[in-house]
Every structure is written in structure tokens, then in C-alpha cells.
Amino acid sequence: MSFVIRTPCSSANIGPGFDVIGLALSLHLELHVTIDPKSSSDLPLNCQITYEDQSKSTESISLDPEVNLITRVALYVLRCHNQRAFPAETKVHIINPIPLGRGLGSSGTAVVAGVMLGNEVGRLGLSKERLLDYCLMIERHPDNVAASLFGGFVGTYLNELKPEDVARIEIPLSEVLPAPAGGIDTGKFNWAKEIKAIAIIPDFVVPTANARDVLPKTYTRADVVFNLQRAALLPAALGSSPPDPDMIFLAMQDKVHQPYRKTLIPGLTEILQSMTPATQPGLLGICLSGAGPTILALATDRFTEIADRIIARFASNNISCQWKLLEPAQSGATVTPN
């Protein structure tokens, strides 16, 4: 048996939609999986991992199936269904073009690929809605994993769990969560075909955990209302064709996470304020991608010009960047026979 799992990366929040709104983007993690029980060797947990880095990341990824995030998640799903290891002679070749720790959802994408892998090799037949529950047991915020799993531009929610249920991560999910833990709203939001996403990716890592630690525990009513007003506008603004640049720019403003993350990302405030649709033709809006440090600029044209302006701002802080022109990935995670 041989198959490929393909999972798009994500940009979460898109400004005001902190932990709620996610967008799947056209940069895909691939797992090329073969299971050949006829060949025999002594693999740990029956699994051999190989890793091909296409992301220019410097961090090394563990090839131990108990440690590697993707196979660890797959094992978690399998063990929740009384399967202790992979089927004999499972080989997983990982091809990863998603930069690690940059705010393009590399870990959420790996978690989604891991639950898909567990579901396939264990022949579990779980629905994507149920797979999202497994993702949430690990990732704990739904915006990036829901985008990678379902694809497109999504609004997500998390049901309130009792603290004792949240703590029972080793217990089979069917016991912890008889009902789904979260989901996406009634469907995907529309995305206007003219809008492309420019990802400007600085050459340094901000672990998502660190970027969450700098956020306050409480907010003023004014800041919450500010974000709610814009988050309510955002789906309509980004779904309307032709796009209205002023409406999109306004709808992408945030007071809940970006102002606090400037301590981790030199020049962030200046970059977010450095241009508007009035001063940069083609630009629609600009935000931090996920927990950063990547900047996501939405635009209809003049992509190179927009990227160059943001790269120059980072350069003034001695930070170099790569950039990519991406599009929404509508399909989400897929499995195809190889």
C-alpha cells in the first residue's frame, strides 16, 4: 500500500480574528507513505521516517517516530484506538517546504498530517470533523488546524471544556469528548478571486508558545469591541468582488495580539503602519501571519513592490527575509493513492 497525504499551511488570525479565523495557503507539507509487511526489518514502532527539508530552516527534525511531531500525533490517534504501533514496515517520507516557527502554521500543518496519517494506517475511517478533535487535543486553538484540515478561509470555534477534561490528554478521545470539541462555522467564507497573499518571511524563529506568553490575560472592553467590530466585517470584506481596499484595510486592524508581539518582532508596529491602500497601489491589507514573525500582505497586484518595501523595513533592523506569493488552498488535507 502506498499513498500521499498533502496538507496546506495556514495563516491564522488575519488581523482581528485571534484564535478564530484561518486561511489555508498554497504551500503544502507532503507525506509519501508506503506499507510493505512482506519486507522485514526491525524498525522502532514499525516506522521509518525520512525528511526532506525544502523550507531552508536550520532546525533539525527528529526521525524517531516517538519524538517526531507528525508520527507522535499519528501514534496518539492509533493508541486511542488500541493500536500500539504503526503497521509493520511503514515508511514515511516527509517533504516540507513550510518554514518552521515563522507563523505559517508549520506545527498545525504537521499535526493535521499526523492525524490523517494515523487515520489512514490504522484504517480508522474517522471523519474530518472527528480528526479536528484530535488536532485540538494537541494544538488547543482551532484557527490554524481547521484551515489546514478543511482548506479555504474559515471561521472556527472551540466548545468550552471542563478543566479536568482538558487535562486528560492521555485518555482515549472517545472517553474525553463524546461530542465534538470544536469546529468550523457553517461553511467556508468566500474569498474574492482577485486577492493574493504575499508572505514576507524573516530569517528568525518566534516559537508560537513564546508569542502567546507575551499576551495579556485580560483586555479592556474597548479593545475587545474594536476587534469584534473588525472581525465581523472581515469575511464580507475579503469575500466581495471586486475588493474594496479601504474596507479590507480597516477590517484587518487588531488590538488583541499584534501590539503585544512587537516585543518579539523588531519593527513590527512600523511595518504594519508603513503603507495603506492610499500610499501603496495594489495593497489591500497587512497583518502578522499566525504568531509571527511572517508578515502577510493581501494585494491584487504590485506584489514585488509591496514585498520589497516590507523587506527593506526588516533590513533596517538587520533582518533578512524571503518572500512568497501564495493563494488560498481550497482543498484542505487530502489523501491520494500513489
Ligand X SMILES: N[C@@H](CCOP(=O)(O)O)C(=O)O
Ligand Y SMILES: Nc1ncnc2c1ncn2[C@@H]1O[C@H](COP(=O)(O)OP(=O)(O)O)[C@@H](O)[C@H]1O
The count of residues interacting with ligand Y (CB under 6 A) is 22
- Of these, 1, 43, 45, 61, which contacts ligand Y (CB under 6 A)? 61
Considering only residues 275-304, where is the footprint of ligand X by CB under 6 A? Answer: 290-291
- Of these, 8, 65, 97, 105, which contacts ligand Y (CB under 6 A)? 105
- Of these, 5, 35, 77, 94, which contacts ligand Y (CB under 6 A)? 94
- Of these, 92, 100, 176, 198, which contacts ligand Y (CB under 6 A)? 100
**Beta-strand relationship, 182-184 and 153-158:** antiparallel
105 binds ligand X (CB under 6 A): yes
- Of these, 28, 196, 257, 309, which contacts ligand X (CB under 6 A)? 257
Instruction: Considering only the stretches 96-104, 194-202, 241-249, 305-313, report the one whose residues sit in contact with ligand Y under the rule CB under 6 A.
Output: 96-104
- Of these, 32, 212, 262, 302, which contacts ligand X (CB under 6 A)? 212
Instruction: Considering only the stretches 97-105, 113-121, 189-197, 266-274, report the one whose residues sit in contact with ligand X under the rule CB under 6 A.
Output: 97-105
73/16 Cα distance (integer angstroms) = 30
- Of these, 141, 188, 196, 255, which contacts ligand X (CB under 6 A)? 141
Instruction: Considering only the stretches 94-102, 185-193, 243-251, 267-275, report the one whose residues sit in contact with ligand Y under the rule CB under 6 A.
Output: 94-102
103 binds ligand X (CB under 6 A): yes
User: Judged by CB, which is closer to ligand Y: 29, or 310?
Assistant: 29
Residues found near ligand Y in the complex (CB under 6 A): 29, 59, 61, 68-70, 94, 96, 100-108, 110, 207-208, 290-291
Residues found near ligand X in the complex (CB under 6 A): 12-13, 18-19, 103-105, 107-108, 141, 143-144, 208, 211-212, 257, 290-291
